[in-house]
Structure 1
Amino acid sequence: MRRVRLMAVAVAGVASAALVASAVVPASAAPIDRTSMGTRSLATVLNVANPAFDKNWADLDILTKAVATVLTVKPNSPVKKLANGRNSLTCFAPTDLAFKYFAEAATGKTIRTEANVFTGVVQYAGTLATSIGGGTTAVDVVETVLLSHCTAGTINSHAAMAAAHARATLSMFSGSQVSLRMVHGQIALYDTARQFLNARVIVVDINKGNKQIAHVINRVILPVDIDPAPYNPANCPKGLTC
């Protein structure tokens, strides 16, 4: 129950946290000068307006679909920052395979398509939302998870590596914190979900030269420590086939 309450706190605090979140990094890893940077948004790079699934597990289709879903249901969500390239931010973007690993661990099922992975993620979010109560929806939970991947400021790969060497902590838009470490030459991100593997950066500087930048990661970041597989298919959100 404590973990469910922690998720409830995380969900409830999303709106306010997104307005004040900032990166806690050493001076040597401060966000770079943004005065002459471009304003192409990450939403444009992801093509959020036209989400589609394919068979390439190395790209970002499930992330794109999750962002599009949240913005469709909650157009004023803090996630909309990704659509305004004037907002300086850094996101750690999980691959489709990262979501597959998470969905399989969460649901206890083997999942073979991106569409079914997305459905599994939403199912699991619905289960958590039901546990939290208070009118929390699956989309609220997905929103919180998405915001747990983004932080204020343009942090390129050099700054991120310096932060990882310094074992710095980032405050994410969800209000959660992520610690950076160097592990076997890679930037690793340590969240509070001890039962899931921590993410590592595998591709850097997506949208380089713009105020919004992304680094691709191989696992999903979670805002709180949660148990895998509290899955209940009866909690499939209305309007989705589960």
Structure 2
Amino acid sequence: MHDLIDRLESRYRWSSLDCEGVTWRWLDTAGHGPAVILLPGSVGDAAMFVRTILSAGERMRLIAITYPELPDPRRLSAGLKAVCEHLGLPPAVVVGSSFAAWWIQFFALHYPEQVRKLVIGNGFTDGSDLAANPLFDAAWVGSVSPQALHATWLERVQKTPVSPLQQLQKLMLEQRQSPENLYARFLGVVKAQACPELPVASKDIVVLDCLDDPLIPPAAQERLRMRYPNSRHVRLPSGGHYPHVLNPDRYEGVLLDVAFE
């Protein structure tokens, strides 16, 4: 994974924007195809999409964004809008994974004119969908320090079998993601409330999930799909909670289909 990240960062340059006291960072492939914004979940920065960016970055204009330590979907949405304005982006395909899949719904709520398509990937409706998992217990997250939460997750990752995902998460937590950033995202998850109805056409919404997702229970997946009953539902047979890492070809195929519709 270190080699892939090195290739990514030698090919594309990081840019940044300060907005309301926090910093947004991104990689822009400047590809000639449609604009597609990629936003990672709780663990990791924009380079979590390394396989997708290296493979498809010339066919689409992929803007992979590392968002700051904010749990509030309104501030995250306003910051993303500022990045879009800074880049002069037309309405884009906005893709969120996990925590970002939740808060991009609020981006679409407040700034529908910026959204051509919305891809809600491995997401959830509100914090109750993950409450049964001890690592997303609201009482624990609310009482633990950012440093302790970060250390807990790093230890958890270090103990899992070596795999591309394990190596990528380990790299992120050891070198690239601060305790404050990780903590803000977890706080956002456990405090998450369902987004109101979106002013976006159902045909422009895609709900993407994986049969083998270990974090989002089947009932929570179904609940999210039923929240958008007339949208496009895509279920991958494999990919876990990170199809952009574990099933990159199928994931890339979905993005290409959506972007070029």
Which structure has more helix as a fraction of its residues?
2
Q: By the TM > 0.5 criterion, same fold?
A: no
Q: Higher RCO, 1 or 2 (CA under 8 Å, sep at least 6)?
A: 1
Q: Give the TM-score of the pair, scaled to structure 1.
A: 0.28
